[in-house]
Chain A
Amino acid sequence: MIPTVDVGALRQAHWYQFLVRFVLGGAVTVGTGLVARHWGPLIGGLFLSFPAIFPASASLLEQHQTEKKQRAGICCRRRGRKAAALDAAGAVLGGCGLIVFGLVAWFGLPALAPGGALLLAATTWLVVAISLWWIRHARG
C-alpha cells in the first residue's frame, strides 16, 4: 500500500481543534524552555520528546471515527478507539525515529552548521519512521 493524501479530511475538522493543538504545542515548548532555564539543559532536554499533543489527537480521532460510524447508522465507540490504537501504533514507529533524531542532533549540532544539523536530524527522523512503517507494513 502506498500512503495517500486526502485534503478533504480537513473539512471534517473544527477550527477549535487546530487552536487546541497550537496552544498545547506552544505551551509545551514554553514549559520546556522554563524547565531548561531552572534546571539546565540536561533536565530540560528530557521534555523534547514529551507526548505534547498525543492525548488531544487520539481523542479527536476517536470522536471523528465514532461520528462517522453514527452517520452511517452504526453506533459503536469501539471502532473509534481502534482507529486511535492504529494511530498509536504509528507513533511507536515514529518514536523510534525520535531516538535517531536525538542522536543526530546530539552529534551534529557541535560539528555542523546548526540549521543544517537540525535539518539533517529531521530528515533522518522522517526516513527512519517511514522505513519502519514500510517494513512493518510489508510483514503484514
Chain B
Amino acid sequence: MELVWRFLLGGAIVSAFALVGDVVRPKRFAGLFSAAPSVALATLALTVAKDGPLVSSIEARSMVLSSVGFIFYAYTVQRVLASGRSPAIWVSMAALTIWALVALTAGVLLTWSRA
C-alpha cells in the first residue's frame, strides 16, 4: 500500500511542476521547472511520515551531492542540443551516465566517510 501512495504522490507532484513548465514563457524560464524538487518533496514527505525527520534529513544531505550531478547533466544536454545535430531523446538519455557517475562518486564518498 505504501508503494501505491509513493507512486500516486510522486506522479502528482511531478505532473504539477511539469504543468507549470508547460505554461510559462520564455523557454529558459520554463526550464527552471524541469529541475523542480518534485521527487524530493514526495520522497522526503513520505520518509518523514514513516521514519521521522532525522532519516529524511540524511536523504536530503545525499541529495545535495547528487544535485551537482544534475547540474553537470543539464549543462551537457544544453551544450550538445545547442549544436542542433542530435535528437533530444538520445542526448538526454545518454547524458544520464554523467548524473550516474557523479551520484556513484558521491555514494562512495558518503559510505567511506561513514565507515
A positions within 8 Å CB-CB of B = 1, 3-7, 9-10, 13, 18, 21-30, 32-34, 36, 41-55, 57-59, 61-62, 77-78, 80-99, 101-103, 105-107, 109-110, 114, 117-118, 121-122, 125, 129-130, 133, 136-137
Contact = CB atoms under 8 A, between A and B. Distances in A.
7 contacts: A3-B26, A41-B58, A42-B111, A51-B74, A86-B28, A93-B32, A137-B28
Which range contains the number of B residues in contact with the other chain?
Answer: 35 or more
Contacts of B46: 33
B23 A6 contact: yes
Contacts of A129: 32, 35
Contact of A26 (B10, B47, B59, B92): B10
Given A45-B58, A48-B43, A106-B57, A92 B71 contact: yes
A107 B63 CA distance: 13
Contacts of A10: 19, 22-23
A34 B10 CA distance: 13
Contact of A42 (B29, B32, B58): B58
A106 to B, nearest CB: 4
Given A22-B14, A87-B31, A105 B6 contact: no
B84 A81 contact: yes
A118 B63 CA distance: 14
A51 B74 CA distance: 9
Nearest to B18: A21
Nearest to A124: B37
A46 B103 contact: yes
A54 B69 CA distance: 14
Contacts of A3: 24-26, 29
Q: Taking each of A29, A62, A122, which has the highest tally of chain B beta carbons within 10 Å of its own beta carbon?
A: A29
Given A46-B106, A105-B63, A88 B31 contact: yes
Contacts of A23: 11
Given A114-B48, A121-B60, 7 more contacts: A36-B43, A42-B59, A49-B69, A58-B77, A95-B35, A98-B63, A133-B29
Contacts of A80: 88
Q: Taking each of A6, A27, A58, which has the highest tally of chain B beta carbons within 10 Å of its own beta carbon?
A: A58
Contact of A32 (B23, B29, B43, B55): B43
A88 B81 contact: yes
Given A94-B36, A101-B37, A83 B62 contact: no
